[in-house]
Copies of this chain bind each other. A is one copy, B any other.
Amino acid sequence: MPNNQFKRGELYSFITGKASTAIARRLQKKFNSAALNLTIEQWSVLYHLWKQDGISQQELCNATFRDKPSITRLVDNLEKLDLVKRIASKEDRRINMIFLTPRAQQLQDQSMGLATETLNEALKTVPEEQIEICKSVLQIVYDNLK
């Protein structure tokens, strides 16, 4: 029998992302308690810049699964907070390269620590192999809809 019917509750939870929003809210609370003055969305941009500094806004769009206007405004706000700087590319003047400021570099260890802590709390009672299955299912869902 194919998966052509869902009970109402599971359908709703899959679509609304109950679990991931709970994780994001918890992490945001930790940021606030630590006076990090950073939204989860802003953090998600810094996250990719910590991996590779000096990438374009378009690359940030791809990495964070956001559209261009969303990244424009997140970079606007991160610039206001003195966490990143736009530098026009010399090879292609359409492109803004986004660079971390020293201030942003200082935030990496603390915020990544809080993120890991949050995930540990979220998954503390879940066996490793079930986490792996869950991860793979979510990846397949994403690929199926991409």
Listed in ascending order, the chain A residues whose CB lies under 8 Å from chain B are: 2-6, 8, 10-27, 40, 44, 47, 51, 64-65, 115-116, 118-126, 128, 130-131, 133-142, 144-146
Contacts and interface: CB of A to CB of B under 8 A. Distances in A.
12 contacts: A2-B120, A3-B123, A3-B126, A3-B131, A4-B116, A4-B120, A12-B47, A15-B20, A16-B40, A17-B23, A22-B145, A123-B137
A49 to B, nearest CB: 13
Given A11-B115, A145-B121, A65 B21 contact: yes
A17 to B, nearest CB: 3
Contacts of A141: 19, 22-23, 122-123, 126
B3 A120 contact: yes
